[in-house]
Amino acid sequence: MHTPAIKLRDAPPRAVWALEQAGAHPLLARLFAGRGVRAPDELDDGLARLLPPADLLGARAAARLLAEVIARQQRVCVVADYDCDGATACAVAIRGLRLLGAEPDSVHYVVPDRAVHGYGLTPAIVDLALLRRPDVLLTVDNGIASIDGVAHARAQGLSVVVTDHHLPALVGDKIVLPDANVIVNPNQPGCGFASKSLAGVGVMFYVLLALRSELRERGVFTPATQPRLDALLDLVALGTVADVVKLDANNRRLVAQGLKRIRVGQVHAGVAALFSAAGRNAQRASAFDFGFALGPRINAAGRLSDMTLGIECLLTDDPGRAADLAKQLDAINRERREVESGMREQAEAWLERLMAQQADTTPAALAIFDAGFHEGVVGIVASRLKDRVHRPTFVFARGQDGLLKGSGRSIPGFHLRDALDLLAKRHPKVLKRFGGHAMAAGCTLDEQHFATFDAAFQQVAAEWLDAVTLSRTLLSDGPLGVENFNAQTVHVLDAQVWGQAFEPPVFVDEVEVISQRLVGEKHLKLAVRFGGAVRDAIWFGHSEPVASRVRLAYRLSIDEYNGRERVQMVVEAAG
């Protein structure tokens, strides 16, 4: 494991004071200030504080087109994606259109099979959608780079509305957009929407807000009779956190509102069933639940089975059917964990051999392929390896078409999609397709080109990364303070919205180690003296003993056993 340097977050005293004066808990004031919050109004998570839909380029035009579709009772086919963001966006689109007046049997969906169709609105997916006899294709969480698919749909006489949040395609240095009737994407050229970090489900929710406004202007609804779209926010929150997009102020509001609804029981049957299947308490719902319990169960369907299962779970209003689907998703997720575990062991063995050959010097980037890898799990394995060695990492598997399908994860300071773009320019014949974000991307190539990709990827990384970027840093919030080491503090912290770019608190304190032992063969269980009392601590995935006096970087959590709550330190690093 790459040992991180522990660095203290900067929490400006003036900002801390202002937040405390506005009523924030003193500890939370320090934590928020350390994450860039400077004014109390940034903590207002009310719906009225959401950025206005009018600022989102294309939302008004999409609303006008969809209003006409509803008025004429035309048929819509939603083209979804096979991850949790795509599944929740699909459910939000279908539920939202029906809420706003579309006939239930006029709104359908298709979702690609990862292994058969690949990603996005391909011509093959258009042909599949045509079986639904639609007048309009509405993409969610995909489509911005689907030049051929959109052209094929338009040639068949269909209208196409693209809602997406990914980066557009590049041809050379030129951005190329599909010839859709309307594109709604905060990351398209000319869009002034202040939050570029909306997830696909967030973009679709904004289109529905614009559509409701359009229908009000047309006299279909009044403010008193219009449907409550906030009923969809549990789905919006789930997809937003599961897609690991940056939790800026606008996204935090969407997530906070969804969590509030779930905690008071205002939740869709499928989401409630997923909480039960995961053994999580919906009354204490947290962003952690979305990212590590519900999201993976929905994602597992797209990785190993058929995302239709995940979408149907989110669409049904029958608690019994929702429970059955959630159990199926839970079983698929267990299978996914087994597949991932085997792949990760192979990848780590490969890594150990590489380190031995290179005298423990890790290359600037990693690219791994094994004929036995499953393409549905390569992204998770890439993420695990990236975390272990703090290097941009691509993991490849052979797809059903014989091509290598790679999924990459990156580290701060290395824009993965831009790296692929440079690689494609230098080696025009290597990449058949690529796309993604700064921190996650995918690509497809012929097996014969893997060695060229590996060398070229390492070359770009060696040019772009320096010793500082290659050194992992763990940002901490400093000492906790003994008065806050209690279950009440944990509950206060768990009630907040933490996630990507607004990370959960990590505290640092020096402790005396009373005892330490291995549990489950790979986790270090500790008893430490801190603040005059003996505390429990655990370091997951770490088996090496620590010194008798050590500075621990840790998160606070509650370990519930036989109805009793014990506060424990979950160790992130020692230094």
Q: What is the CATH number of the domain that holds 549?
A: 2.40.50.460
What residues are paired with 515 via a beta bridge?
527
Q: What is the pLDDT of residue 189?
A: 97
Q: Which two tokens stand for residue 225?
A: 């009779």
205 within domain boundaries: yes
Same domain, 559 and 536: yes
Q: What is the pLDDT of residue 2?
A: 58
Domain range enclosing 113: 47-244
H or E element at residue 109:
strand 107-110
Q: Which two tokens stand for residue 500?
A: 């990507």
Q: What is the pLDDT of residue 360?
A: 59
557 within domain boundaries: yes
CA–CA distances in Å: residue 109 to residues 55, 91, 136: 28, 9, 11
Give me the mean pLDDT over the 496-515 stretch: 96
155 within domain boundaries: yes
Same domain, 382 and 456: yes
CA–CA distances in Å: residue 141 to residues 1, 6, 240, 367, 369: 34, 36, 11, 27, 28
Same domain, 139 and 286: no
Of 285, 201, 319, nearest to 251 by C-alpha is 201
Mean pLDDT of the chain: 95
Residue-wise pLDDT tens digits, 266-299: 999 999 999 999 999 999 999 999 999 999 999 9
Same domain, 421 and 552: no
543 within domain boundaries: yes
Of 88, 165, 42, nearest to 497 by C-alpha is 42
Q: Domain end: 421, 446, 464, which one?
A: 464
pLDDT of 469 > 60? The answer is yes
Contact in structure between 510 and 543 (CB atoms under 8 Å): no
Q: What is the pLDDT of residue 358?
A: 73
Of 203, 193, 211, nearest to 239 by C-alpha is 203
522 within domain boundaries: yes
Highest mean pLDDT among 318-332, 436-450, 556-570: 318-332
Same domain, 131 and 239: yes
Q: Which two tokens stand for residue 342?
A: 């085997």
pLDDT of 455 > 90? The answer is yes
In the chain, the percentage of residues whose pLDDT exceeds 70 is 99
Contact in structure between 571 and 552 (CB atoms under 8 Å): yes
Give me the mean pLDDT over the 439-465 stretch: 96
Q: What is the CATH number of the domain that holds 441?
A: 3.10.310.30
Q: Domain end: 349, 382, 401, which one?
A: 349
CA angle 424, 188, 147 (to 5 degrees): 55
Q: Domain end: 412, 429, 464, which one?
A: 464
Same domain, 71 and 150: yes
pLDDT of 562 > 80? The answer is no
356 within domain boundaries: no
Give the contacts of 167 (CB within 8 A, at least 6 positions apart): 144, 145, 187, 417, 435, 436, 437
253 within domain boundaries: no
Handedness of CA 533, 539, 543, 549 (dihedral sign): negative
Same domain, 123 and 31: no
Distance CA(471)–CA(240), nearest Å, equals 29
Q: What is the pLDDT of residue 514?
A: 97
Give the contacts of 353 (CB within 8 A, at least 6 positions apart): none
Give the contacts of 137 (CB within 8 A, at least 6 positions apart): 76, 77, 79, 121, 126, 129, 153, 158, 159, 160, 161
Same domain, 169 and 308: no
Q: What is the CATH number of the domain that holds 223?
A: 3.90.1640.30
Q: How many domains does the chain have?
A: 4
104 within domain boundaries: yes
Per-residue b or e along 530-554, where b marks 16 or more CB atoms closer than 10 Å to that residue's CB: beeeebebbbeebeeebeeebebbb
Phi, psi of 543 (to 5 degrees): -115, -10
Q: Which two tokens stand for residue 55?
A: 């600022």
Q: Is 157 exposed, middle or buried (0-12, 13-18, 19+ CB in 10 A)?
A: exposed
Same domain, 509 and 424: no
Give me the mean pLDDT over the 376-386 stretch: 94
Q: What is the pLDDT of residue 359?
A: 64
Same domain, 206 and 228: yes
Give me the mean pLDDT over the 462-491 stretch: 94
Same domain, 83 and 189: yes
Same domain, 154 and 203: yes
Residue-wise pLDDT tens digits, 75-115: 999 999 999 999 999 999 999 999 999 999 999 999 998 87
Of 376, 375, 292, 370, nearest to 332 by C-alpha is 376
